[in-house]
Amino acid sequence: GEDVEQSLFLSVREGDSSVINCTYTDSSSTYLYWYKQEPGAGLQLLTYIFSNMDMKQDQRLTVLLNKKDKHLSLRIADTQTGDSAIYFCAKGAFSGGYNKLIFGAGTRLAVHP
């Protein structure tokens, strides 16, 4: 199967770190992605990690990949109210000449004061 699973909701206090988790069932992916969707908007690519990497850091964002457990996480340091959004995990696999993305259902992050 090609399932990507995420918890649906996460609530954190402003200034704390947020950790959003994702698991997937198919290990043939080349890249794994995190997208952000704010209300009424499309998907914004936040970051991605190549499947032969364990970690990638980009400013406040840290992506961890555990290939053995097929587990991907996104850590947002010093979470702000502007980080409130839905975060989608996706896996990509090259197939038929393009990168086929399979998305999770999304995790709604709520940041409260």
- Residues forming contacts to another protein in the complex (CB under 8 A) are 4, 31, 35, 40-45, 48, 88, 92, 94, 96-106
User: Which of 11, 99 has the CB closer to another protein?
Assistant: 99
Residue 73 Cβ vs another protein, minimum distance, rounded to whole Å: 18
User: Which of 12, 101 has the CB closer to another protein?
Assistant: 101
Residue 79 Cβ vs another protein, minimum distance, rounded to whole Å: 23
Are residues 9 and 108 in contact, defined by beta-carbon separation less than 8 angstroms? yes
Question: Taking Cα atoms as reference points, which of 24, 25, 41 lies closest to residue 33?
Answer: 24
Strand ranges in 4-70 using DSSP code E only, listed in sequence order = 4-6, 9-13, 18-24, 31-37, 43-50, 55-58, 61-66
Residue 96 Cβ vs another protein, minimum distance, rounded to whole Å: 5
